[in-house]
A = this chain, B = another copy of it.
Amino acid sequence: MSNGQAIRMTESRKAILSVLGRTRAHPTADEVYSMVREDLPKVSLGTVYRNLDLLAKQGLIRTLASAGEQRRYDGMVDDHHHIRCEVCGRMDDIEVGNAELLDELIIDGRGYDVHGYTLCFSGVCREYAGNGKSHEQNGKGQGE
């Protein structure tokens, strides 16, 4: 998905890549911001947003934008899927067995030129299990 020509690799971009490279947590922009500031105390939030966008367009990171939630970013660009906790909003990687089945999906695209799809699971993470409240606490449920 690398787009356009290569961009200059500035300090802030290196720092962002490094942050995303060493966490498994799918941080939000402001989490990336505060982590980057440990190394480069003067970066601005705007720069972090701008560069997260750029890096994503280059295909060097991935953007996880789910359902009315704050955007999250992922340093792992290989194809994989995610699950979001409906209670606390955290996102984790998941393993999908039979993943190859997904490519068998044949759709009537209604005249669309179909580019891809998004598959995201939802549930409740271990930490909040047993909290099975029916009323919402945080996330907006299933989104789609």
Residues of A within 8 A of B (CB): 3-4, 56-57, 63-68, 71, 81-83, 85-86, 92-99, 101-102, 104-126, 129, 132, 134-136, 140-144
Contacts and interface: CB of A to CB of B under 8 A. Distances in A.
Given A65-B140, A101-B101, 11 more contacts: A3-B135, A96-B105, A97-B105, A102-B105, A112-B121, A112-B125, A116-B121, A117-B119, A118-B122, A119-B144, A120-B144
Nearest to A94: B107
Contact of A98 (B95, B105, B129, B132): B105
In the complex, the count of this chain's copies comes to 2
Contacts of A68: 65, 71
A63 B119 CA distance: 17
A130 to B, nearest CB: 9
B143 A126 contact: no
B98 A106 contact: yes
Contact of A126 (B104, B111, B134): B111
